[in-house]
Copies of this chain bind each other. A is one copy, B any other.
Amino acid sequence: MEKIASAKLFGGAHDVWRHSSEVLGVDMEFATFIPEGEGPFPVLYFLSGLTCTWENAATKAGAQQFAAKHGMILVFPDTSPRGDDVADDDSYALGKGAGFYMTATKAPWADHYKMDSYIIDELTAFVPKIAPVTGGKAGITGHSMGGHGALTLAMRYPDSFKSVSAFAPIVAPTKVPWGRDIFHAYLGDDESEWAAYDACELLVSNGWDGDILVDVGKADPFLEAQLKPDLLQSAAQKAGVELEMRLQEGYDHSYYFVTSFIEDHITWHKSRLTA
């Protein structure tokens, strides 16, 4: 574990870490924001979308100023295993940058694609070693594929997470091209195995002990074909889970959308993590 970059911002520290991941079998990087002061502080994970690394959210989301204000640690993981030995594909929506926060079982992906296990088993164990974290559960949020990651990891690992929100999440990957293409590649053609990584399915099967905040732009070009927020609303209703689904007039899928509502999400997580 090596700190490869550090910068002061909003009185706290933006740090970039490189480490050899046992789970993934490759070297990985992630970034953290640690606010000024002794702590301990609650932790919020921000999972990024297709094509991203830790850098997109850490530089464009504008989250740190509100984490500084509220006294929260932020963790920005990468979105897939990295390195020359890692299988890849020409499509931006498969392979590197598209880990989908799941464990692949099919070749050539099964060798390294285990981003769910990486975050749950490895990253959450590293963070207390490098940052003064409050004991107990963390918060998790994310954008697009990272919104899928936040929702599914929260519901699959309720012992790890107390609060979950998302920006323009993929909520029904078993039903939309971004998810189906990935699941065919990473899990194979037996669709019965796919439900374990579908937020709508998980919400009904596992439930969620808390409320959920989701923002989606009504001008998001992926709204109809890939995001389908109404499916999460139906699942929440069926599961009896309180979902605040905010359809934001005029906003698209970019970080201009994310940054416009990040303050609400940070504040929302803070209140739930310290309740």
Give the B-binding residues of A (Cβ under 8 A).
Answer: 7-11, 14, 59-60, 62, 64-65, 217, 219, 250-252, 254-257, 259-260
Contact = CB atoms under 8 A, between A and B. Distances in A.
Contacts of A217: 8
A7 B62 contact: no
Given A62-B65, A65-B62, A257 B9 contact: yes
Nearest to A262: B65
A9 B260 contact: yes
Nearest to A6: B252
A64 B65 CA distance: 14
Nearest to A248: B8
Number of copies: 2
B59 A252 contact: no
B256 A9 contact: yes
A248 B107 CA distance: 52
Given A7-B254, A254-B7, A259 B14 contact: no
Contacts of A8: 217, 219, 250-252, 256-257, 260
B10 A260 contact: yes
7 pairs of A and B residues whose beta carbons are closest in the complex = A9-B256, A7-B256, A8-B250, A62-B62, A9-B260, A8-B251, A10-B260
A55 to B, nearest CB: 10
A250 B249 CA distance: 40
Contact of A256 (B14, B60, B219, B257): B14
26 contacts: A7-B251, A7-B252, A7-B254, A7-B256, A7-B257, A8-B217, A8-B251, A8-B252, A8-B256, A8-B257, A8-B260, A9-B251, A9-B256, A9-B257, A9-B259, A9-B260, A10-B259, A10-B260, A14-B256, A59-B59, A60-B60, A62-B62, A62-B65, A62-B259, A64-B259, A65-B260
Most buried by B among A8, A11, A217, A219: A8
Nearest to A253: B7
Contacts of A250: 8
A14 B260 CA distance: 12
Contacts of A9: 251, 256-257, 259-260
A7 B256 CA distance: 7
Contacts of A11: 260
Contacts of A14: 256
Contacts of A65: 62, 259-260
